[in-house]
Amino acid sequence: MRVVTAVVFSAVGMVLTFAATAEGQEKRAGHQPTIFDDTWPTDGSKPKQPAKGPKATRPDAAEAPRPAPAKPPESPAPTSGAPASEPRAGTRAPIPDSSAQEAAGRIVRELFESDYRDTSAAGKHRLATKLRRQAEKTGDDPAGRFVLLREARDLAINAGELELALGIVDQIGRQYATDWLPMKATAFLAVSPRVPASSAASFVSHGQTLLAHLLRADDYANASRLVVELVAVATRSHDLALVRTAQGIAQETQGILAEYDRVKLAFVKLRIDPKDPGGNLVVGQFYCFLKGEWDRGLPMLALGSDPVLSGLARTELAGPGTPLDQASLADGWWELAQKQSPAAKVQTQGHAGGWYRQALPNLKGLHRALAEKRVSDLGGTDARAVAPKTVATTDR
C-alpha cells in the first residue's frame, strides 16, 4: 500500500495545485518565456527574459487570411464516456421550467412509490432502469420524460452504476437542449466515491475519454477535478498497474493545465479583441504546439505577431496545391521544430510528417529522399504526433 500511495502522491499534488491557483487572478504584463521558446532551459534553471525586438506590426483586418474549412480533429472512439458528437440544439426540446418539473416529479413519485422505498443499491439500480424505460414510452410529455430521465440518472449515480448513469446523461443530451459535457463531468464526479474496485478500470477508461472532450472544450476546471478522481478510484482498487495508468494521465494533463494557467490572460485578451496579435500568438501556440489542435491554432497563428509562424500558418490555410508546395510547407514546420522545446518539437514534427506523407507519392529525386528520411525519423515518435489531428488537403 505504501508503494501505491507514493506513486499517486505526486500526480494528485500537481493537479490540486492547479485547482487552487486557477481561482487566483492573473497579474502578468509583457512577454514571458514559454515552453515553446528555444530559450527555455532544460536543466530546471529560471528562463532568461528575451531581448526586446522591434514592435510587431499588427496585420490589417482586411489582409487577414480567410481560413479554408478546417478538417475537424479526430474524436476519441465513441464510448459511454462521452457522446461521439454533441446533438444540434435545434433538434432538441427545451428544458422544462421548474413548475412543470415539480408537477411531473410529484406524479413520478406517486406512480413508483413502492420502488422508491427500496433504498439499497440494487433497488436504486432497478428503479433507475425502470424509470429510463418509462421515459422511452413518454414521448408525448417532454416534462414527464425529462423528470423520469433526471430521476433515473440520480438513482444510477447513488447506486454507483457508472455505465447506466452515463448512458442516461447521453440520452438527456440527445433529447434536450442542455450542455451535456458539464453534465457528464458532474455525473462522473458524483459517482466516483461509489465506484467499487471491480469497476475501477472501467471508470479510468471512460474517464480518459471524457477528459479528452473536456480538454478539447477548454473546460480545464472540470478536467482538473476529473484527473484527481481518476487517481483516487485507481488507488482504491489496489491495482498498481491501474494506478500508474491514472498517474500518467494526471501528469500529462497537468502539463496542459499548468500552461493554460500561465497563458489564460491571452484568452481574456482575445475575448476583448479577437484580432489582438499578441493574444493570437500565445493561444495559437498553446493549441498547436501543446494540445495538437492545429485546426484551432492555425488561424490564430496566422493573425499572430510572429512573422515566421504567421507565414507558415497563412500558407497552410491557403492550401498548398502541388506536391512541392506541400513538401516546402513541411520543410518549414520541420525547421521550426528544431528550435522548439522537446514537447513542442514532437507536435510540430508530427504535423510536418503529415504533410510529407501527403506529398510523397508525387515527389521525385532529392525532395522525395528527404521526405522519406524525415518520415522514417518519426517512426518511433508518439503516434498522436506522427498522425497530426489536422492535415490540410488539396481538394479544398
- The DSSP secondary structure of 126-172, one letter per residue, reads HHHHHHHHHHHT-TT-HHHHHHHHHHHHHHHHHTT-HHHHHHHHHHH
Q: What pLDDT score does 110 carry?
A: 96
Q: How confident is the model at residue 248 (pLDDT cuts 50, 70, 90)?
A: very high
pLDDT for 380 beyond 60: no
How many CA atoms within 13 Å lie on the side-chain side of 73?
Answer: 23
The pLDDT > 70 percentage for the chain reads 73
Three-state secondary-structure class, residue 82: strand
391 in Cβ contact with 330 (< 8 Å): no
**Which pLDDT band holds residue 48 (cuts at 50, 70, 90)?**
very low
> Given the C-alpha cell 492573473, which residue does it identify?
26
Instruction: Report whether pLDDT(109) > 90.
Output: yes
- Among 31-35, 65-69, 120-124, 278-282, name the one with the lowest average pLDDT: 65-69
Q: Would you state the pLDDT for residue 387?
A: 34
pLDDT tens for each residue of 187-202: 999 999 998 899 999 9
Residue 388's pLDDT is what? 37
Report the percentage of the chain scoring pLDDT > 90: 67
Determine the 3-state secondary structure of 85 from DSSP.
Answer: coil
C-alpha grid cell, residue 95: 428544458
Give the residues across from 93 on adjacent strands: 176
Sign (positive or negative) of CA dihedral 120, 123, 129, 135: negative
Q: Mean pLDDT of all residues in the chain? A: 79
Half-sphere exposure of 90 (CA within 13 A, CB side): 0
Q: What is the average pLDDT across 225-233?
A: 95
Which pLDDT score, from 0 to 100, does residue 180 have? 85
The residues, ordered by sequence, that sit 6+ positions from 290 with a Cβ below 8 Å of its Cβ are: 35, 36, 255, 256, 259, 343, 344, 347
Of 290 and 33, which is predicted with more confidence?
290
CA-wise closest residue to 226 among 180, 257, 265: 257
Radius of gyration of the chain (CA): 25
Q: Are the C-beta atoms of 334 and 309 separated by less than 8 Å?
A: no
CB 262 within 8 Å of CB 17? no
Whether the predicted pLDDT of 224 surpasses 50: yes
Cβ-contact 183, 95 below 8 angstroms: no
**CA 264, 270, 271, 273 torsion: positive or negative?**
positive
Q: What is the pLDDT of residues 260-271, one digit of tens each?
A: 999 999 999 999
- d(CA 162, CA 157) in angstroms, rounded, equals 7
Residue type, 382: D
- Look at residue 155 and tell me whether its pLDDT is greater than 70: yes
Q: Give the model confidence (pLDDT) of 22-37 as tens digits.
A: 444 333 334 444 444 4
Tens of pLDDT, residue by residue over 297-347, are 999 999 999 999 999 999 999 999 899 999 999 999 999 999 999 989 999
pLDDT surpassing 90 at residue 238: yes
pLDDT, residue 3, reads 41
287-304: average pLDDT: 96
pLDDT for the residue numbered 90: 55
Distance between CA atoms of residues 122 and 376, nearest Å: 55
Classified as helix, coil or strand, 367 is helix
> Where along the chain do its domains lie?
2-20+76-264, 294-386
Summarize the confidence of residues 286-305 as an average pLDDT. 96
What region, left, alpha or beta, does residue 365 occupy, with left being phi > 0 and alpha being psi -120 to 50 degrees?
left
Residue 58 — pLDDT band, cuts 50, 70, 90? very low
CA dihedral 254, 259, 260, 266 (to 10 degrees): 180
Going by pLDDT thresholds of 50, 70 and 90, the confidence category of residue 240 is very high
Q: Within 10 Å of residue 86's Cβ, how many Cβ atoms?
A: 14
Run of H or E residues at 275: none
Query: With 60 as the cut, is the pLDDT of residue 205 above it?
Result: yes
3-state class percentages of the chain: helix first, strand second, coil last, to nearest 5: 70, 0, 30
Instruction: Report the SS3 class of residue 71.
Output: coil
| Rounded Cα gap, residues 275 and 147, in angstroms | 44
- pLDDT of 324 reads 96
Q: What was the pLDDT predicted at 37?
A: 44
Task: Tell me the pLDDT tens digit for each residue of 6-23.
Answer: 434 444 444 444 444 444
DSSP sequence for 159-227? TT-HHHHHHHHHHHHHHB-S-HHHHHHHHHHHHGGG--GGGHHHHHHHHHHHHHHHHHTT-HHHHHHHH
